[in-house]
Amino acid sequence: EVQLVESGGGLVQPGGSLRLSCAASGFAFSSYAMSWVRQAPGKGLEWVSGISYSGSDTYYADSVKGRFTISRDNSKNTLYLQMNSLRAEDTAVYYCAKQPNQVREFDYWGQGTLVTVSS
């Protein structure tokens, strides 16, 4: 059974940093692309960043480019999102999602972790 479990969310001040993790199990993690998708309170879905199966290719939404860094450790079956220079508008539930490749569907989603940016 595919499982994706996010962690690392919490309350952080504007300008601060946070690192999210997504622990994967139940599939060959190193063979699949992964993405982070967020959802602000009461709002719709917004793709944040994606990474190829090997980690050699990364993609970012313009809203986070230069501030967020996606990475993966295939030996630990874990996906990461390093978030720096956080803003109030980054407040959201962050989901990790599995993909067959970067331009294909998000076929499995984690339960999400809440990031709140506030003073």
The Cα angle at residue 50 between residues 107 and 20, in degrees rounded to 5: 95
Provide the 3-class DSSP secondary structure of residue 94: strand
Q: Which stretch binds another protein (CB under 8 A): 11-19, 23-31, 41-49, 72-80?
A: 41-49
Q: Residue from 18, 80, 94, 110 that binds another protein (CB under 8 A)?
A: 110
Token reading at 116: 């709140």
* Contacts by 67-71, CB closer than 8 A, 24 or more apart: 70/36
| Cβ proximity to another protein, 49 vs 78, nearer residue | 49
Q: Which stretch binds another protein (CB under 8 A): 19-27, 66-74, 78-86, 102-110?
A: 102-110
Q: Residue from 9, 47, 69, 114 that binds another protein (CB under 8 A)?
A: 47
